[in-house]
Structure 1
Amino acid sequence: MKTSLWKDNPVTVVLIAIQLVVYLLMTLAGGSTTPAVLIRFGALQAAAVQAGEWWRLLTPVFVHIGFAHLLINSITLYFIGMYIEQLFGHWRMLVIYLGSAIVGNLLSAYWLPAGISAGASTGIFGLFGAFIMLGATFRENQALRMLSRQFLILVVLNIATDLMVPGIDLAGHLGGFIGGFLLAYLVGAPRLGRVNIVERTFATLVLIAGVVVLFIKVS
């Protein structure tokens, strides 16, 4: 059976296309590693968020610092995005991705108030978190359970790398991962089955409480 990349994964394709276009525009504007250009195109800066530029909690997911950063995140988003979009559906995948980015950037703005950060990794870690949720919720599905374990190992290795390599936004990655895990319970996965209502309610309450607390702390 033939599959169409656009037909089956339109959200993933559009997200990658947007970050490619933003990178090209940044390059033309002076370079994607130039601090002034990064800020102009929406990179995360805690002081700017505190000044009322709350849209910076979302826009950094489309902004990348250098070509290598863009390439790695685009490839990772391509593969994990296709999995999540086909398992959760289009709009649920978009909610998880963008919601995770906001949670990750919120935690980053609180944890690391100085400096500039950007990149799709907050949303990507959210997609990993969503897949871990699937493995925990649909344990009877061996394929999901095995893949979720592999992704969990990948996340742990990435977090370990974050701890050893300076300049990586550990807070953004952790926030995105936790946000994606909780958002996956909130939106559910009807293509796979029903999510336990108690677990869904608890995850939703934890997510709301966490976001409210972070908003208060950051503002």
Structure 2
Amino acid sequence: MHRVKQLESGVNLAAFSRWLTGQGVVHRISEEGGYQVLWLEDPEHAQPVLAALERFLAEPELRRAVDQQNRSPVFVGGRWQPSPGHAPLVLGIIVVAVLMAWATGMGHNELSAALMVIDPRSYDWSTLSGRLDALASTLAGGQVWRVLTPDFLHFSWSHLIFNSVMLWFLGSQIEWFDGRPRLIALFLVTSLVSNGLQYLVSGPLFGGLSGVVYGILGYCWLSQRRAPRFQFPPALITFAVAWMVLGFTPLPEILGLGRMANEAHLGGFVAGLALAGILPVRRGRS
């Protein structure tokens, strides 16, 4: 064990110790001459652990959040592990996406056209003005569901599985901590913005929950800075933004990954950030 920090004996480190255990950090807290000493098995953990400890001691909100995680029924060993009963709305969205993937043959049969923003067989959408006219005609005809249903149109199982995993991991936390109405608002707004932007730029041939996932990620990241309550690795936001930027380059097509719905990713992410800045933080659920 490596000695990394000595603190006054009156500092309560019990919640922090449980949080470290949940993160898989092997450690020990001993008493020596009226002081507490924090020991770590791996010295490479010292810098991030000391940074986390400094925040834990300095921010009452963070201490309360850690304590809530330790006591919450959806945290097991300090890790977010909800059951379907904790996030039924998120589960329902995923189930609908899977059913639509099966029903549309992964976007390869005629039903797929009914889920797109417009029916691509009925309009000339090769220009922006054409796309605007087609959208206006479609909405005037009462087919308003089309602004949301591209979310449920996927073209590969890998795309669907990735979106579902991310939606379950992050969306379930929003449904639990911030409530179902907040999640519904996020889903609707990020869907409208991401699908609308992607359609205006490239037309109706796109689909997937990626725009919503990016919106939820943006919301979690910014809202977390106002009131810590969500659990996700900080590197996730870095990876997601880097992947989004990469999508605007030719590299994905060069690697055989096909074209990405870049505008949907960007639109959803910006919408999520905006909602995190506008909507008040809900407090009290643990």
For Structure 1 versus Structure 2, the TM-score category normalised by the shorter chain is 0.7 to 0.9
**Paired residue for 1:8?**
86
Deviation per CA, 1:185-205: give whole Å up to 9, x if none: 333221279xxxxxxxxxxxx
Tell me the number of residue pairs that the alignment of Structure 1 and Structure 2 aligns: 183
The residue that corresponds to 2:252 in the other structure is 165
Cα shift at 1:147: 4.4
Query: What is the CA-CA distance between 1:94 and the residue it aligns to?
Result: 1.8
User: Which whole-Å CA distance do the structure 1 matches of 2:90 and 2:224 have between them?
Assistant: 21
Alignment partners' CA distance in 1, 2:162 and 2:274:
25
- Quote the Cα distance in structure 2 between the aligned partners of 1:22 and 1:168: 20
Q: Where does structure 1 lack aligned partners over 5 or more consecutive residues? A: 194-219
Which residue in 1 is equivalent to 2:155? 65
Q: Does residue 196 of structure 2 align to residue 106 of structure 1? A: yes
**Matches of 2:232 and 2:160 in 1, distance apart?**
25
The one of 30, 34, 52 equivalent to 2:108 is 34
In 1, are the aligned partners of 2:154 and 2:208 still within 8 Å (CA)? yes
Unpaired runs of 5+ residues, structure 2, are 1-71, 75-81, 119-124, 126-130, 254-258
Corresponding residue number in structure 1 for 2:272: 180
Deviation at 1:129, TM superposition (A): 1.0
2: CA distance between counterparts of 1:44 and 1:57?
Answer: 5
Q: Which has the larger radius of gyration?
A: 2
Match for residue 125 of structure 1?
A: 214
Q: Identify the residue that residue 51 of structure 1 maps to in structure 2.
A: 137
Amino acid aligned to 1:103:
V
Distance 1:129 1:63, change over 3 A: same
**CA deviation profile, 1:152-191 (whole Å, cap 9, x unmatched):** 2022122133123241010000000111111233332212
Equivalent of 2:177 in 68, 87, 112: 87
Q: Tell me if the contact between 2:101 and 2:107 (Cα under 8 Å) persists in the aligned partners.
A: no
Letter in structure 1 aligned against 2:283: R
Tell me if 1:19 matches 2:97. yes
TM-aligned CA deviation for residue 22 of structure 1: 1.4
Q: Is the 8 A contact 1:96 1:126 kept in 2?
A: yes
2:263 is paired with a residue whose SS is: helix
Structure showing the higher helix proportion among its residues: 1
1:12-45 residue CA offsets vs partner (Å, 9 max, x unmatched):
111111111212222xxxx2232633212x1244
* Residues 107 and 148 (structure 1), Cα distance of their counterparts in 2 relative to 1, 3 Å cut: farther
Q: Is the 8 A contact 1:44 1:117 kept in 2?
A: no
Q: State how far apart, in whole Å, the 2-side matches of 1:92 and 1:185 are.
A: 13
Change (3 A) 1:192 1:103: farther
Identity of aligned residues (%): 22
Q: Distance in 1 between matches of 2:160 and 2:187?
A: 17
* Greater RCO, CA 8 A, separation 6+: 1
Q: Pick the structure with more strand per residue.
A: 2
Q: CA 1:108 to 1:35, structure 2 compared with 1: closer, same or farther past 3 Å?
A: farther
**Contact in 2 for aligned 1:96/1:184 (Cα 8 Å):** no
Report SS of the residue matched to 2:110. helix
